[in-house]
Amino acid sequence: MRFDVNLSILFTELPMLERPAAAAAKGFDAVEMWWPFDGPVPADAELDALERAINDAGVSLVGLNFDAGHMPSGDRGLLSSKATSLRFRDNIDVTVGFAERLGCKVLNALYGNTTDDSDVELALENLALAAKSASRTGATVVVEALNSFENTRYPITSTTAALQVIDQVPGTAFLADFYHLARMGEDIPALITNHADRFGHVQIADVPGRGQPGTGELDYPAILRQLAASPYQGPVGLEYKPVGPSDESFGWLEAMR
């Protein structure tokens, strides 16, 4: 099984451009990240610098979010709101183009919080535009369910809700984040049994604190064995908040190898 490090939540002790090398130094050959720039259309120099940092580290980019707004302030995507739709559309080809440069085949489009101007049809239209653009490079757009405890206005909070959206937009798949789904009470082994063939990407963290596996309630050795034997054969993204320094949070993984 191949694991990748989400550089937007791990190695945050370092500037972003130093994080790919830090992941490589811990033995990882793949990384993913949320949209790492301040706006939807960053300067060419910013894109070039990040591309160079990833390539120089010798790691692959296996997952990238579209611009989702200012996530530290609570934004969780742009595609469902009339006020932010244009920003999302401006970002589509930039994200797809940057992913293509690095061979990244999974692009996460966070749906967006429910607001006064949310529009389901607009969300599906924007998701379809993103999927069409991604398909030209062989990439897949994934849709993620988040837990409602930390994301109180995010409307997609279950596997069922995510699949209802995915079923309406060809070229999309399910981002199964086991942390968020377990927080919502979903049975992760049953989820793998029933829906692993719909997974476009998997992310993990323990419950309830979102720390590394072994710090919470989930039986990750058993879960990961089951996942390895399932139809899903893609990478598993480590998207946890490390308990302690990032580079000391991988003991659980070393014990499994």
Question: Active-site residues: which are they?
Answer: 144, 239
Alpha-carbon distances of 239 from 9, 36, 48, rounded to whole Å? 6, 15, 25
Tokens found for residue 86: 């244009």
Within the chain, how many helices (H) and strands (E) appear? 9, 8
Please provide the DSSP assignment of 16-28 as one string.
Answer: GGGHHHHHHHTT-
Burial bucket for residue 102 (CB in 10 Å: 0-12, 13-18, 19+): middle
Question: What b/e sequence results for 123-150 when a residue is b if at least 16 CB atoms lie within 10 Å of its CB, and e otherwise?
Answer: bbebbbbbbebbeeeebbbbbbbbbbee
Choose among 86, 52, 82, 54: nearest CA to 67: 86
Amino acid at 120: V
Choose among 122, 104, 102: nearest CA to 112: 122
Q: Say if residues 2 and 235 touch (Cβ distance below 8 Å).
A: yes
Q: Say if residues 219 and 253 touch (Cβ distance below 8 Å).
A: no
d(CA 173, CA 162): 9
Tokens found for residue 209: 């604190």
